[in-house]
């Protein structure tokens, strides 16, 4: 099969003309964030926010043009508003002072018909165990008999393929959508499966969205009860854009006791509140140390902080997970504790948290259902 190259794609795109200026999209500098992986292509067309609505034919034309190239298996093109990607300035943390809402960007993914609930698992910073908790939580939900998907949106350090023991590469049946990979009964898709783990990538705003859209819209998720999204750590622009543009039913914040004290978890909370995504609650990870030999429990940090803080902030406390070598070894080794030791206390904690989250999701969607009036 022919090798798909960046220059080949840009050459082909020269026939795609911006209807307003008559200039081709490459010369006009509209193409950005081009990602090529084994014949799967994604890029963004940067457009003026006001012009977005009538440029759908341009987006489609660009997609069709690249798709016609030899060796191209799938193409995902998104329209990205430059102004949106640059506000606020990239060096500043978000949330800032200005009001932001959901669905005001060009790239909002309207709805995902087969997926009942999409939940984000987020953290104020990296290394708090967000991915470990996401993996175990997804498996805990599956243990409830639910149909579960895991979308690894942690594009800076995708770890779900490793944690969920996924090997190989996703395939496409129709050349348009990718089939998710599967293990332990859950469907998984990750940038880590599309881009080799050691490829250095600098993600800019539009690229992040094009990657996320590809993971969400161009994957054949089928029917799911819950899609768990392992978010990139932190609360910068990429996270904010994602929270705005992915139709989230709710968010779960993972934090460690010290992280709560340092306000990082609060930043995450505020970010979701600003974009009106319900926060389902906080999970305290590495809450206390449980001795692998004697089972003795040691409060390493000021344990219990998350519970108190959650109460103060008016969000639910979903549970606490100990710092335990078994949790680390099992998830890092591709056999998370919920599936490798389902009868352990730790697995039970994750299942309890999963059940609590599921109940909340069901309660929220029941509330938003139209009421039937019997006369």
Which lies closer to ligand ADP via its Cβ, residue 130 or residue 147? Answer: 130
Contact status: 332 vs ligand ADP (CB under 6 A): yes
Of 81-89, 212-220, 320-328, 365-373, which part binds ligand ADP (CB under 6 A)? 320-328
Please work out, in degrees rounded to the nearest 5, the angle formed at the alpha carbon of residue 320 by the alpha carbons of 314 and 326: 155
Residue 165 within binding range of ligand ADP, rule CB under 6 A: no
Could you say whether residue 210 binds ligand ADP (CB under 6 A)?
Answer: no
Q: How many CA atoms lie within 13 A of 58 on its CB side?
A: 26
Give the residue with the Cβ less far from ligand ADP, 66 or 327: 327
Laid out side by side, the sheet with 40-47 consists of 31-37, 40-47, 74-81
Which C-beta is closer to ligand ADP: that of 42 or that of 280? 280
Q: In whole angstroms, how close is the CB of 291 to ligand ADP at the nearest point?
A: 13
- Nearer to ligand ADP by Cβ, of 66 and 323: the residue is 323
Taking the C-alpha atoms of residue 71 and residue 175, their distance in angstroms, rounded to an integer, is 10
Chain CA centroid to CA 232, Å: 7
Q: Does 186 bind ligand ADP (CB under 6 A)?
A: no
Which CB, 81 or 349, lies closer to ligand ADP? 349
Taking the C-alpha atoms of 336, 342, 343 and 349 in order, what is their torsion angle to the nearest 10 degrees? 70
Any contact of residue 328 with ligand ADP (CB under 6 A)?
yes
| Sign of the Cα pseudo-torsion (10, 12, 15, 17, in order) | negative
Cα–Cα distance measured from residue 130 to residue 75, given in angstroms and rounded to the nearest whole number: 30
Interface positions, 115-154, toward ligand ADP (CB under 6 A): 123, 126-132
Q: What angle do CA 142, 222, 334 make, to 5 degrees?
A: 40
Report d(CA 26, CA 58) in Å as an integer: 13
- Residue closest to ligand ADP when measured from CB atoms: 129
Considering only residues 65, 74, 159, 210, which one is a binding residue for ligand ADP as defined by CB under 6 A? Answer: 159
Query: What's the min distance (Å) between Cβ of 348 and ligand ADP?
Result: 14
How many beta carbons lie within 10 A of that of residue 308, not counting itself?
12
Site residues (vs ligand ADP, CB under 6 A):
123, 126-132, 159, 233, 285-286, 321, 323-324, 327-328, 331-332
């Amino acid at each position: 099969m022919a090798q798909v190259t960046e220059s080949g794609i840009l050459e082909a795109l020269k026939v795609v003309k911006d209807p307003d200026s008559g200039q081709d999209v490459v010369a006009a500098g509209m193409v950005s964030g081009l990602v090529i992986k084994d014949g799967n292509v994604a890029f963004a067309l940067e457009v003026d926010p006001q012009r977005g609505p009538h440029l759908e034919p341009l987006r489609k034309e660009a997609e069709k043009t690249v798709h016609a190239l030899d060796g191209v298996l799938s193409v995902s093109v998104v329209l990205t508003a430059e102004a949106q990607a640059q506000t606020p300035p990239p060096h500043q943390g978000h949330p800032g002072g200005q009001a932001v809402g959901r669905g005001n960007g060009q790239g909002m993914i309207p709805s995902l018909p087969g997926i009942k609930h999409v939940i984000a698992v987020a953290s104020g910073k990296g290394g708090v165990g967000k991915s470990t908790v996401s993996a175990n939580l997804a498996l805990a939900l599956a243990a409830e008999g639910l149909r579960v998907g895991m979308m690894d949106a942690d594009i800076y350090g995708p770890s779900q393929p490793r944690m969920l023991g996924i090997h190989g590469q996703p395939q496409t049946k129709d050349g348009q959508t990718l089939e998710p990979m599967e293990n332990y009964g859950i469907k998984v898709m990750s940038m880590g499966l599309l881009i080799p783990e050691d490829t250095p990538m600098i993600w800019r705003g539009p690229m992040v969205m094009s990657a996320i859209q590809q993971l969400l819209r161009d994957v054949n998720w089928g029917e799911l009860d819950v899609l768990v999204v392992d978010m990139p750590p932190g609360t910068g622009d990429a996270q904010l854009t994602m929270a705005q543009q992915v139709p989230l039913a709710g968010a779960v914040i993972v934090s460690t006791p010290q992280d709560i004290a340092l306000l990082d978890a609060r930043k995450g909370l505020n970010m979701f509140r600003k974009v009106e995504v319900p926060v389902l609650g906080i999970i305290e990870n590495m809450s206390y140390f449980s001795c692998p030999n004697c089972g003795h429990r040691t409060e390493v940090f000021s344990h219990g902080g998350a519970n108190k803080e959650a109460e103060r902030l008016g969000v639910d406390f979903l549970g606490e997970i100990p710092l335990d070598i078994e949790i680390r070894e099992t998830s890092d080794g591709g056999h998370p504790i919920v599936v490798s030791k389902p009868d352990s206390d730790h697995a039970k904690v994750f299942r309890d948290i999963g059940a609590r989250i599921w109940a909340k999701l069901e309660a929220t969607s029941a509330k938003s259902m139209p009421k039937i009036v019997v006369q």
